[in-house]
Chains A and B, each alone.
Chain A
């Protein structure tokens, strides 16, 4: 489904913002400030930015952990400053400092997250059941990495999504490697083929082209909203760094070479999008500079916001946090 000029500019802007946040997070991790761990987004921002651009405020969402869901949240218009605060272990965090890295924004129907890879399948099927029963044309937008498609949970969710005609769009951010294990050691088919086998509309797209991701996602969102059921989109994307900061960057047991990474960088989603929008005369060099400058300003401001917040109060660990009345 075609994109208009404003949408294209916003997609480019969000890619640049996502990268700025990724570099900020990586720097904070290196300086020992970020709590927990960090899975860098660089190179793999386009699926999150592109797919989550067309969700309505009342749609249910589950973002993938790549870039710790910042690309996805930015795309939805969620203020990520409280997420950064959370990641620094602060009181102003999205989860009040209890989760370290869970994206959570109930006002945007992002009802939380968990750290088990592939846990999204059933929860998002449940969201979709609720969306269908609510009768308000809500949909579910969810994304997962290629590793998260290995679990049996996916198959169970695909069964009911098709049979119950659930309004859900599943995005697979396939960067080719589940930590060190390459796709080809797991599948002899595209992951989308599996969904197709269940009768679900599924496609494979270029996950480095944010415009292609957005077009596919926009159409899938419309299909779901119109009661036409689930869509499964496999985005072939890339990872410019190791799976998570501090572990080696291996392909099986062999370090990925500089040449390999350089080759991946030739298909940098920001470069691809910028090239297209310049060619279409939608972006100018001046706008590009402006967007970059604004992104740098934004992340600096976010860091200041998060750093200003105190550590959480230990009294938060009490029965009323654990149990609802």
Chain B
């Protein structure tokens, strides 16, 4: 085991997979210089044919990767900020439909990575959680690591996957250090991690919300026993682990930094209604960003979830009895 930063875990994953498979290449915004450090220096190892600075053209980065993927390559598209992924949402939608529309014959192995998340005061264009926008698209997968170990294992799986995968790293988790094995490992998609066991209420938390939920769970220790689940991938989603937890706790709070409307929390909530209604003793509670653009500066904290709001959400779930 070594203790390394989240970004270093990503960099190791990219480097190892590029060593392993010469069809893998990286194309994106400022990947040669590495405006975010997870790609810095890779140019020295892999050269300019495999580490490519694209023009500032998100549609090109993703669209050309569809072509190259259909032709047998395995592109990693580095979009810098996750917000910029939305510029290429039509290309992502096409990547997701391509195999299906053509009879399930061809495949589009590509990874799109971008940094999401707020809490840095940089406002809506550099702080959104855009996986909610993408959840609606058939044919793609979505990975949302919350720590260095998952960052590496999920990215390696993403690169080996034969489908379009959108991989989000969180800008507030990016420098966090964590234990990562020295030996080779991957993490299968669709396997949630039980971050903390508990018996009174289940918290499903995504990315930065995992550590925030852990803090709240510690604060409430002795009064409320909280089970925290990190889904790690949103498509596919490990409903089995989530439902098993609700079977025990009978209460669910979903903590998602994204704004609530039409997002992951709404989707999970609906699925729990469909598949686990009888297990619940209280209505599902969503603790999410408010349905506003994310303000820059100090007012950001009004819109984004906080420890206080998570605590309030837990109390709400505990107070109700169906």
Contact = CB atoms under 8 A, between A and B. Distances in A.
B33 interface: no
Interface stretch (B68-76, B217-225, B268-276, B307-315): B68-76
B91 interface: yes
B99 A322 contact: yes
Overall SS of chain A's interface: helix
A133 B23 CA distance: 10
Given A116-B90, A125-B64, A156-B55, A131 B104 contact: no
A128 B60 CA distance: 13
Interface string A94-136: 1111110010101001011010100101111111111101100
A124 B138 CA distance: 23
Contacts of A323: 99, 139, 141, 163
B68 A130 contact: yes
B67 A129 contact: yes
B57 A322 contact: no
Given A116-B94, A119-B94, A111 B70 contact: yes
Interface residues of B, number: 40
Contacts of B104: 96, 316, 320-322
A104 B59 CA distance: 23
A126 B101 contact: no
Nearest to B71: A130
Nearest to B98: A112
B105 A106 contact: yes
A247 interface: no
B106 interface: yes
A106 B106 contact: yes
Nearest to A130: B71
Interface string A48-63: 0000000000001000
A287 interface: no
Given A156-B55, A157-B60, A160-B54, A126 B103 contact: no
A246 B63 CA distance: 32
Interface in A155-204: 156-157, 159-160
B101 A127 contact: no
B67 A130 contact: yes
B22 to A, nearest CB: 10
A166 to B, nearest CB: 10
A157 B67 CA distance: 12
Interface string B59-98: 1101111111111110100000000000000110010011
A260 interface: no
B107 interface: yes
Nearest to B139: A322
Contacts of A94: 102-103
Nearest to A122: B63
B185 interface: no
Contacts, number: 131
A271 interface: no
Given A111-B70, A131-B71, A156-B57, A321 B64 contact: no
Contact of A153 (B59, B66, B73, B163): B59
A123 B63 CA distance: 5
Among A60, A119, A322, A323, chain B packs the most CB atoms within 10 A around the CB of A323
Given A111-B71, A114-B94, A156-B59, A321 B162 contact: no
A227 to B, nearest CB: 15
Contacts of A325: 162
A129 B103 contact: no
Contacts of A97: 103
Contact of B63 (A60, A95, A109, A126): A126
A123 B66 contact: yes
Contacts of B54: 160
Given A60-B71, A123-B67, A95 B60 contact: no
A130 B73 contact: yes
A129 B99 contact: no
Contact of B138 (A93, A111, A156, A322): A322
Interface in A66-113: 93-99, 102, 104, 106, 109, 111-112
Contact of B162 (A106, A160, A324): A324
Given A111-B70, A123-B67, A324-B163, A160 B100 contact: no
A114 B139 contact: no
B57 to A, nearest CB: 4
Contacts of A133: 49, 73
19 contacts: A95-B103, A98-B102, A99-B101, A106-B105, A106-B106, A112-B101, A112-B106, A122-B59, A122-B64, A122-B66, A125-B67, A128-B67, A130-B67, A152-B59, A156-B59, A160-B54, A160-B64, A323-B99, A325-B162
**Among all A-B residue pairs, the 9 with the closest Cβ atoms:** A126-B67, A122-B63, A130-B71, A321-B104, A126-B64, A96-B103, A324-B107, A324-B162, A156-B57
Given A128-B67, A156-B59, 8 more contacts: A104-B105, A119-B63, A126-B63, A133-B73, A157-B60, A159-B60, A321-B104, A324-B107
